[in-house]
A and B are shown apart, each in its own frame.
Chain A
Amino acid sequence: MKTVADLKALREKLQAEMQVRSDSGTKVVVGMGTCGIAAGAREVMAALLDEIAKRKLQDVHVEQTGCIGMCEKEVLVDVIRPGEDRITYGKVKPSDAAKIIGDHVVNGKIVQELVVGRIERQKK
């Protein structure tokens, strides 16, 4: 390392690797109850992670959650962009991952045909 600019460049590169420990950015939550896993939640999550990696998205966290009682609609995936409503997608297949990430997470365009619920943002 020779200059301060080198350090800054390195920092930016390294920051991405620690992004998972910050609490900013968009959250993508996958339902991982027994019902979800049986319906293929693991595969959906893997597809989501692949898509995020492919697009080199940094400010996106993939989290898991347990069963929320809409087992019939599994696999359920929630997308929460900062300051926006929580959108729940149902019957998500691995092949939908690219669309959810590309349209909604990146561009903020909700994938209407998959939506099963919407929870309004909590006013602080």
Chain B
Amino acid sequence: MMQDTRIRADVLVCGGTACSASGSQEVMKRLREEIAKKGLSEEINVVKTGCHGFCENGPLVIVYPEGTFYVRVKPEDVPEIVEEHLYKGRVVERLLYHEPTTGKSIPTYKEIDFYKKQKRVVLSKCGAINPEKIEEYIALGGYEALGKVLTTMTPEQVIEEVKKSGLRGRGGAGFPTGMKWQFAHGAKGDKKYIICNADEGDPGAFMDRSVLEGDPHAVLEGMAIGAYAIGADEAYMYVRAEYPLAIKRLEIAIDQAEKMGLLGNNIFGSGFNLKIHIKKGAGAFVCGEETALMASIEGRRGMPRPRPPFPANSGLWGKPTNINNVETWANVPQIILKGADWFRSMGTEKSTGTKVFALTGKINHTGLAEVPMGITMREIIFDIGGGIPNGKKFKAVQIGGPSGGCLPESMLDTPVDYDSLTKVGAMMGSGGLVVMDETTCMVDVAKFFLNFTQSESCGKCTPCREGTKRMLEILNRITSGQGTETDLVVLEDLAKTIKVSALCGLGQTAPNPVLSTLKYFRDEYEAHIKEKRCPAGACEKLAQYFITEDCKGCGLCARNCPVHAITGEPKKRHVIDQTMCIKCGTCMQNCPFKAITKK
């Protein structure tokens, strides 16, 4: 204990997947070495934390008590941080975050715009604690909600509190969590199960991974509370195997919680038992669908089945089962501790609380942002996300992954809540936001997402298996200049049919990216079909290459053209024969004078 209070500074190093990939482990090693070299080991702690969400600027290093926030720290910067900051108390100005618009350096966490406008509830401990030490979670009030539930509340009271909070499923569909628990609670059966759906598969989404990596105990505690509420004594954490760090931290977390008696048998002397298993998923997108997920846990092929019966009545191995997503579970302990009214005070009437979004694509601050529901898309993208890089213009934001839709500039003031988003043709989804600028072709985007769902379709029902394939063929035709006006009609017709006839959520929502781009960007489809032109210049096959007046007639392009489509006399401007050109772009790459343009 003496040793501990002598510590005057904690140096937090982000150990999330993104920061680790950009070298944070090496930074941490160097920090320990340099601190030891200076004889400061007795007074300074180096702590590995989970994700801070500011991934674009990683590796992140934060020095407390001052709260100094260093970005993009490289191992070779470490001696300077130790010598200047930790030894002499002088902040290393050049490593601070500099605001992109003003160039001003911002010394601490709280003053950065990216964080200032967020409301971090689920992410409150991510980056603030060492996720591999249960002690740090407990120090911030961890497992007190479980203690409160087990010793002072009946399962019915727990369900009532969650219902009152208005919490809705954060995995996408937004079903009221308390109601779901009620169903499983009321189902008859001596054996019940709890499942955490951590099969995060939307392209560009990494919220759940970061929560599991940064604050695994919050999810475990939430699951334990849910298990008590519905009467389950066994739980499964279904995590995709592509998340090795999340799995490792969960294993550590479960082990530590069991050793402390916070999971396992007779928790807090209440007679309540819970065993949590980890099940690694093989990464099939359809396994995020609850019935397919359960099939996968049972060891069968991951395919959905028709509902009803719903999992609440007949789920895992035919027993009543309650499935919620990672972020939903992580909200539960705080609702119990701070109360439903506190939770309702954030967000809108029908969408309470906060939501974590993963910002990716053409946006300055790639990372995680947690905001109160009801905030506008514009605030998320421009105020928190820092807008579009390289002075480009915003074109669209894709929200809700392959099941969601693309919203144009005119829809940016839509409040972000379950119902408003569905109304405009997108959906909350799990929270992936992919931002696109003017160089993105919307037909190509629709094709990308459809290609994804098409290859992830499990093949069980015809509308999804055959329908998405036909749709993809049409999109391929359109983007290669072969589309006809009938194609557009058929495309729309197919989309609407699949939406109502597919078996599971994957198929029912697969046409959304096409439908929403047709709704807001129909002119782009028409340009591809009628003018054989891609307005964004992204569709290779519709591109045309031209040689400009800057041509010096060196002949390099002609020599490299694989189909001999370029002709011209030496030292004179060359010409490309558009009928022969295969749009491979080789000429452009080889031109030393930048005299070839693409239109």
**A interface residues, Cβ below 8 angstroms from B:** 1-4, 7-8, 10-11, 14-18, 20-21, 23, 27, 30-34, 37, 45-46, 49-50, 52-54, 56-58, 61-66
User: A2-B268, A4-B148, A23-B65 known; A62 and B139 CB under 8 Å?
Assistant: no
A15 and B8 form a contact (CB under 8 A):
no
B151 and A21 form a contact (CB under 8 A):
no
Chain B, 47-98, CB within 8 A of any chain A CB: 64-67, 87-90
By a CB distance below 8 angstroms, the chain A residues around B260 are 1
Number of A-B contacts (CB under 8 A): 102
By a CB distance below 8 angstroms, the chain B residues around A50 are 6
Bound complex: CA of A45 vs CA of B43, how far in Å?
10
**B interface residues, Cβ below 8 angstroms from A:** 1-10, 12, 43, 45, 64-67, 87-90, 128-129, 135-136, 138-144, 147-148, 151, 260-262, 268-269
Bound complex: CA of A57 vs CA of B128, how far in Å?
22
Closest B residue, CB atoms, query A10: B138
Bound complex: CA of A57 vs CA of B6, how far in Å?
10
How far, in Å, is A49 (CB) from chain B's closest CB? 5
How far, in Å, is B45 (CB) from chain A's closest CB? 8
By a CB distance below 8 angstroms, the chain B residues around A33 are 88
Closest B residue, CB atoms, query A37: B88
How far, in Å, is A62 (CB) from chain B's closest CB? 4
By a CB distance below 8 angstroms, the chain A residues around B268 are 1-4, 7
Q: Known pairs A11-B144, A37-B88, A53-B3; list 16 more (Cβ under 8 Å).
A: A3-B269, A11-B141, A14-B136, A17-B7, A20-B10, A20-B65, A21-B65, A21-B128, A32-B90, A34-B88, A46-B43, A49-B43, A52-B6, A61-B8, A62-B8, A63-B66
Bound complex: CA of A75 vs CA of B90, how far in Å?
16
Bound complex: CA of A15 vs CA of B65, how far in Å?
15
Q: What are 19 contact pairs spanning A and B, CB under 8 A? A: A1-B260, A1-B268, A2-B268, A2-B269, A7-B143, A14-B138, A16-B5, A18-B129, A21-B65, A21-B128, A32-B87, A32-B90, A45-B8, A49-B6, A52-B6, A53-B2, A58-B5, A63-B89, A65-B89
By a CB distance below 8 angstroms, the chain A residues around B144 are 4, 7-8, 11
Closest A residue, CB atoms, query B90: A66
How far, in Å, is B406 (CB) from chain A's closest CB? 41
Prevailing SS type, chain B contact patch: loop
User: A4-B147, A4-B148, A20-B10 known; A15 and B139 CB under 8 Å?
Assistant: yes
- Complex A-B, nearest 10 residue pairs according to Cβ-Cβ distance, in ascending order: A64-B89, A14-B139, A4-B147, A61-B65, A32-B89, A62-B8, A53-B6, A66-B90, A1-B261, A32-B88
By a CB distance below 8 angstroms, the chain A residues around B261 are 1-2
How far, in Å, is B62 (CB) from chain A's closest CB? 9
B87 and A11 form a contact (CB under 8 A):
no
By a CB distance below 8 angstroms, the chain B residues around A15 are 139
User: A1-B261, A18-B140 known; A64 and B88 CB under 8 Å?
Assistant: yes
Closest A residue, CB atoms, query B44: A20
By a CB distance below 8 angstroms, the chain B residues around A16 are 1, 4-5
Bound complex: CA of A105 vs CA of B8, how far in Å?
16
Bound complex: CA of A30 vs CA of B144, how far in Å?
38
Bound complex: CA of A46 vs CA of B144, how far in Å?
37
How far, in Å, is B427 (CB) from chain A's closest CB? 38
Bound complex: CA of A56 vs CA of B144, how far in Å?
25
A11 and B138 form a contact (CB under 8 A):
yes
By a CB distance below 8 angstroms, the chain A residues around B5 are 16, 52-53, 56-58
B89 and A30 form a contact (CB under 8 A):
yes
How far, in Å, is B222 (CB) from chain A's closest CB? 17
Closest A residue, CB atoms, query B262: A1
Bound complex: CA of A54 vs CA of B4, how far in Å?
11
B65 and A63 form a contact (CB under 8 A):
yes
How far, in Å, is A100 (CB) from chain B's closest CB? 15
Bound complex: CA of A3 vs CA of B148, how far in Å?
11
How far, in Å, is B109 (CB) from chain A's closest CB? 10
